[in-house]
């Protein structure tokens, strides 16, 4: 069975020659957006006459929404509205990656455009200076859908030596992870760390701290860069919350949250107040924490493998089996942040951060 794509076998030695060719003042801008699934990323590139200095210098563009499950063929043009600009780690300076919101023909936000509502929420809570950090877990797969470097007709040894491991028998795909990390740093993504996870071929990277809407922007671009790096290596990255059945860890997107009051002296009381509100809205959050209304996360949140059960809400200091973890240092210093361990790896960060902000700071999800 094939484990890597044919494109990864192309002669990569030739590519630097073409990348090094001068392009004058022209700038390649790659527009990135979410398709109708709310999970898939799409992109296309156009030439600008000169390097844009800010997002305002990048024009709107359009695309065929009928080919991305976002419109009917009879009225297919949709708008790409640039919202955040990054350096392009693939075609290099002074080319750009640009994250876009999608608007329909009438300039209403597309159904998959969760950023639009999240931005409105973050404007309402701006005075609280809410910070997020998201821990994106993912699993590397061959193009046959089998975990990368796992035996084709069997399983690796039981979990234990893989988390933060080292050595060819414990760690699979580190080249991909290190290239992704460097590419994010080059792009200007606020990536702040990475590590091998508990299941072999599973990894995590962390993005943050980011304030407000910035969190979703940076995580989506980090995901885009991950998929592009994996494309070069001929493998896949999946955010499936439970890619392998059985005694294997699932994949989440733990979300760390801190407001200005939580970070100040005596902030623990504000953390506890926020946790109480989250507990009162547990069922609603579960529905929003994966794209399938909790059904994907149901396979992961079993009460085993460092998770709380999907139907139960709990909180505790240094407890990775709780819904909400208060880090030990936060408990000691009485201020800092809390970690919501419920979001699935395939969550939409705009939905998750928007829901947390509404529940904790705007008197509930109806806001």
Are both 84 and 14 inside the same structural domain? yes
| Residues 6+ positions from 5 with CB-CB distance below 8 Å | 143, 231, 234, 235
Are both 85 and 222 inside the same structural domain? no
Q: How far is 63 from 69, CA to CA, in rounded Å?
A: 12
Q: 253-263 pLDDT, tens per residue? A: 999 999 999 99
Are both 200 and 88 inside the same structural domain? no
Residue 177 lies in a domain: yes
Helical residues (DSSP H) of 20-150, grouped into ranges: 115-124
Residue 117 lies in a domain: no
Which of 93, 112, 131 terminates a domain? The answer is 112
Q: How far is 67 from 52, CA to CA, in rounded Å?
A: 29
Helix 214-233 vs helix 115-124: crossing angle, to nearest 10: 140
Residue 366 lies in a domain: no
Which of 52, 77, 112 terminates a domain? The answer is 112
Q: What is the CA radius of gyration of the chain?
A: 21
Are both 139 and 232 inside the same structural domain? yes
Given a cut of 70, whether residue 154 has pLDDT beyond it is: yes
Residue 219 lies in a domain: yes
pLDDT band for position 366 (cuts 50, 70, 90): low
Are both 170 and 209 inside the same structural domain? yes
Tell me what pLDDT residue 367 has. Answer: 44
Are both 103 and 198 inside the same structural domain? no
| DSSP assignment of 179-232 | HHHHHHHHHT--EEEEEE-SSTTEEEEEEEEEETTHHHHHHHHHHHHHHHHHHH
Are both 201 and 344 inside the same structural domain? yes
Residue 17 lies in a domain: yes
Q: 264-322 pLDDT, tens per residue? A: 999 999 999 999 999 999 999 999 999 999 999 999 999 999 999 999 999 999 888 89
Residue 367 lies in a domain: no
Are both 342 and 294 inside the same structural domain? yes
Average pLDDT, the chain: 95
> How many folded domains does the chain comprise?
2
Domain that holds residue 254: 122-361
Are both 104 and 155 inside the same structural domain? no
Q: How far is 359 from 361, CA to CA, in rounded Å?
A: 6
pLDDT band for position 167 (cuts 50, 70, 90): very high
Are both 130 and 181 inside the same structural domain? yes
pLDDT band for position 75 (cuts 50, 70, 90): confident
CATH number at residue 266: 3.30.590.10
Determine what percent of the chain falls in helix, strand and coil, rounding each to the nearest 5: 30, 25, 45
Are the beta carbons of 217 and 101 closer than 8 angstroms? no
For range 349-367, the mean pLDDT: 88
Which of 72, 94, 112 terminates a domain? The answer is 112
Are the beta carbons of 158 and 167 closer than 8 angstroms? no
Tell me what pLDDT residue 320 has. Answer: 85
Query: Exposed, middle or buried: residue 360 (CB in 10 Å: 0-12, 13-18, 19+)?
Result: buried
Are both 103 and 181 inside the same structural domain? no
Q: How far is CA 261 from the centre of its chain?
A: 26
Residue 11 lies in a domain: yes
Of 220, 222, 233, 221, the closest CA to residue 176 belongs to: 233
Are both 97 and 13 inside the same structural domain? yes
CATH number at residue 102: 3.10.20.70
């Amino acid at each position: 069975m094939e484990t890597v794509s044919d494109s990864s076998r192309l002669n990569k030695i030739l590519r630097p020659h073409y990348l090094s060719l001068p392009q004058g003042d022209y700038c390649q801008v790659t527009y990135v957006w979410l398709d109708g699934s709310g999970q898939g990323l799409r992109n296309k590139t156009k030439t600008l006459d000169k390097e844009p200095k800010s997002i305002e210098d990048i024009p709107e563009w359009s695309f065929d929404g009928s080919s991305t499950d976002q419109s009917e063929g009879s009225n297919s043009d949709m708008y790409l509205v640039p919202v955040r600009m990054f350096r392009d780690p693939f075609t290099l300076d002074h080319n750009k990656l640009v994250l876009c919101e999608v608007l329909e023909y009438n300039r209403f936000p597309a159904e998959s455009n969760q950023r639009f509502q999240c931005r409105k929420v973050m404007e309402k809570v701006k005075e609280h200076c809410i910070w997020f950090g998201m821990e994106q877990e993912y699993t590397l797969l061959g193009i046959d859908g089998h975990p990368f470097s796992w035996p084709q007709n069997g399983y690796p040894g039981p979990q234990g030596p893989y988390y933060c491991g080292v050595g060819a028998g414990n760690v699979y795909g580190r080249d991909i992870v290190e290239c992704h990390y460097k590419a994010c740093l080059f792009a200007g993504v606020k990536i702040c760390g990475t590590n091998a996870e508990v299941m072999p071929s599973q990894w995590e990277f962390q993005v943050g701290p980011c304030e407000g809407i910035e969190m979703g922007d940076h995580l989506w671009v980090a995901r885009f860069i991950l998929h592009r790096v994996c494309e070069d290596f001929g493998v896949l990255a999946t955010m499936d919350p439970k890619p392998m059945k059985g005694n294997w860890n699932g994949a989440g997107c733990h979300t760390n949250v801190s407001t200005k009051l939580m970070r100040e002296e005596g902030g623990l009381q504000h953390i506890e107040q926020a946790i109480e509100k989250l507990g009162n809205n547990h069922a609603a959050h579960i529905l929003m924490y994966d794209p399938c209304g909790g059904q994907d996360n149901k396979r992961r949140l079993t009460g085993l493998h460092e998770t709380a059960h999907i139907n139960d809400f709990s909180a505790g200091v240094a407890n990775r089996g709780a819904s909400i973890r208060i880090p030990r240092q936060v408990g000691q210093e009485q201020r800092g942040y809390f970690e919501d361990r419920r979001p699935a790896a395939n969550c939409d960060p705009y939905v998750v951060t928007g829901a947390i902000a509404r529940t904790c700071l705007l008197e509930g999800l109806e806001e």
